[in-house]
Amino acid sequence: MTYTTPPPFLFHAGTQPLLLSIPHMGTHVPLSIAERLTNEARRVPDTDWHLDRLYAFARDMGASILQATHSRYVVDLNRPPDNASLYPGQNTTSLCPLETFDGMPIYQSGKNPDDTEVVLRRDTWWHPYHQQLRAELDRIKAQHGVAVLWDAHSIRSVLPRFFEGKLPDLNLGTANGASCAPELACQLLEIACATQNQTAILNGRYTGGYITRHYGQPDMGIHAVQLEMTQCNYMQEQWPFEYRAEAAAFIQPRLQLMLETAIAFAKANR
């Protein structure tokens, strides 16, 4: 975690009809917030670690890339701005979460953000990310006729607070079919299921967060897919969360094939 002041996001404009969004890889926490966190929360353990490195090939493919700089503990870019629950009746996290994935407090006693601070964080960091995401999807759609949004996530493989047992390795989400053409979803699932010694599912525990659900409009030529991948496939799941290059090298060709398939689909359906 650093205390310099980065911009709300980093962005690279590509040449293909594909936008890679990485909303949970940020680790920066402003000092005014960090000094109120618990010691455990200062490690920002629920980060989608190293996804910029894992998906580094996407830039050479011509994808546009939008990635967060600030921790999801500051504001969660994949939650609705009104903080409505994405999974009613199930455990989930909020726009400005108060607990870690393990159910431990993020803030020291009595130091949670109030409603005014939540609004300020939303205006300062949430809105700029989404304004850029919207603008880039519109640009891609205008240039290519079709746009595919790939929302990249990762998570620990075992998290009793959210699901029983071990999560499948590759969890594709298309808002139960509402955010993406069924043809593309089926092609992606076939690729995911062909990965040796790995498990895959479509619209299982994770069907896609706010980004997938809000921006995916297949009838308008914008197809959105979320991939929630278990972190054991490419990194150490516990502190210090080290990148495992050998494991990553095994899964990267499969990820690249999925993105290539998304681009091919877009070009065939413009």
SS3 content of the chain, % helix, strand, coil (to 5): 35, 20, 45
Mean pLDDT of 204-215: 96
Q: Nearest Cα to 257, choosing from 174, 179, 189?
A: 189
Q: Report which of residues 1 and 165 the model is more confident about.
A: 165
d(CA 181, CA 219): 8
Residue 3 has pLDDT above 60, yes or no: no
How does DSSP assign 37-90, residue by residue? B-TTGGG-TTS-TTHHHHTTHHHHHT-EEEEE-B-TTT--TTS-TT---SSTTS
Residue 92 has pLDDT above 70, yes or no: no
Contact by Cβ (8 Å): 195, 258: no
Question: So what's the pLDDT on residue 61?
Answer: 98
Residue 90 has pLDDT above 70, yes or no: no
Q: Which residues pair with 225 in a beta bridge?
A: 150
Residue 2 has pLDDT above 80, yes or no: no
Residue 83 has pLDDT above 80, yes or no: no
Burial 159-193 (b: 16+ CB within 10 A, else e): beebbeeebbbbbbbbbeebbbbeebbebbbebbe
Question: So what's the pLDDT on residue 5?
Answer: 85
Q: Nearest Cα to 59, choosing from 245, 256, 222, 257?
A: 256
pLDDT tens profile 15-68: 999 999 999 999 999 999 999 999 999 999 999 999 999 999 999 999 999 999
Question: So what's the pLDDT on residue 182?
Answer: 98
Question: So what's the pLDDT on residue 106?
Answer: 98
Q: Report which of residues 226 and 4 the model is more confident about.
A: 226
> Would you state the structure tokens that stand for residue 132, as one six-digit string?
């850029």
pLDDT tens profile 150-190: 999 999 999 999 999 999 999 999 999 999 999 999 999 99
SS3 201: strand
Mean pLDDT of 255-266: 98
Tell me the domains of the chain and their CATH numbers. 9-268 (3.40.630.40)
Q: Is the peptide bond before 8 cis (omega within 30 degrees of 0)?
A: no
Question: So what's the pLDDT on residue 15?
Answer: 98
User: What does the CA dihedral 30, 32, 34, 35 come to, rounded to 10 degrees?
Assistant: 150
